Amino acid sequence: MNIAAIDPGSYGKVAVLCGGFSDERDISLLSGKAVLSALQKVGVDAKQFDTARQQISELQKYACAFIVLHGRKGEDGAVQGALELMGIPYTGSGVLASSLSMDKWRSRLLWESIGLPMPAFELLHADSDFTAIEARLGLPIFVKPCREGSSIGISKVKRRGDLSEAYTKAAACDSLVIAEAAICWDDDDQGIGGEYTVSILNDQALPIVKIIPATEFYDYDAKYFRDDTRYVLSPDLPPALVEEIKRQALQAYRLLGCEGWGRVDFLMDDNGRHYWLEMNTLPGMTSHSLVPMAAAAAGISFEQLVLSILHHGVHKEVNNVA
pLDDT of 281 over the 80 cut: yes
pLDDT of 286 over the 80 cut: yes
In CATH, what number is assigned to the domain containing residue 269? 3.30.470.20
| Statement to judge: residues 205 and 139 lie in one domain | no
pLDDT tens sequence across 11-54: 999 999 999 998 889 999 999 999 999 999 999 999 999 999 99
| Statement to judge: residues 141 and 224 lie in one domain | no
Clarify whether 263 is annotated catalytic: yes
* Higher per-residue pLDDT: 23 or 141: 141
Average pLDDT for 51-66 = 96
Name the residue type at position 49: F
Q: How confident is the model at residue 321 (pLDDT cuts 50, 70, 90)?
A: very low
In a domain, 313, yes or no: no
| Statement to judge: residues 61 and 144 lie in one domain | no
* Catalytic residue from among 23, 24, 148, 180: 24
In a domain, 200, yes or no: yes
- pTM, two decimals, is 0.91
| Statement to judge: residues 125 and 113 lie in one domain | no
| Statement to judge: residues 82 and 112 lie in one domain | no
In a domain, 246, yes or no: yes
Clarify whether 284 is annotated catalytic: yes
Report the range of poorest mean pLDDT among 4-8, 231-235, 240-244: 4-8
| Statement to judge: residues 256 and 112 lie in one domain | yes
| Statement to judge: residues 22 and 150 lie in one domain | no
Q: How confident is the model at residue 320 (pLDDT cuts 50, 70, 90)?
A: very low
Q: Per-residue b/e over 130-149, b at no fewer than 16 CB within 10 Å?
A: beebbeebeebbbbbbbbbb
pLDDT tens sequence across 85-100: 999 999 999 999 999 9
In a domain, 252, yes or no: yes
Average pLDDT for 144-169 = 89
In CATH, what number is assigned to the domain containing residue 13? 3.40.50.20
In a domain, 315, yes or no: no
| Statement to judge: residues 256 and 129 lie in one domain | no
Clarify whether 147 is annotated catalytic: no
| Statement to judge: residues 281 and 232 lie in one domain | yes
Clarify whether 226 is annotated catalytic: no
Domain count, the chain: 3
Domain carrying residue 148: 121-181
Residue 124 neighbours by CB distance under 10 Å: 23
| Statement to judge: residues 51 and 139 lie in one domain | no
| Statement to judge: residues 172 and 194 lie in one domain | no
| Statement to judge: residues 42 and 16 lie in one domain | yes
Report the range of poorest mean pLDDT among 220-229, 247-256, 260-269: 220-229
Q: Measuring CA to CA, which residue among 91, 72, 87 is closest to residue 28?
A: 72
* Catalytic residue from among 93, 150, 289, 308: 150
Clarify whether 20 is annotated catalytic: no
Share of the chain above pLDDT 90, in %: 80
| Residue 186 confidence (pLDDT) | 83
In a domain, 14, yes or no: yes
* Catalytic residue from among 199, 280, 289, 308: 280
Instruction: Kindly write down the DSSP assignment for every residue of 274-301, as one continuous string.
Output: EEEEEEESS---STT-HHHHHHHHTT--
Clarify whether 216 is annotated catalytic: no
Clarify whether 58 is annotated catalytic: no
Clarify whether 247 is annotated catalytic: no
Average pLDDT for 203-224 = 78
On average, the pLDDT of the chain sits at 91
Report the range of poorest mean pLDDT among 5-9, 236-240, 246-250, 305-309: 5-9
Instruction: Give CA 103 to chain center in angstroms.
Output: 12
In a domain, 255, yes or no: yes
Residue 45 φ/ψ, nearest 5 degrees: -80, 80
Angstrom distance (rounded) from CA 283 to CA 321: 27
In a domain, 303, yes or no: no
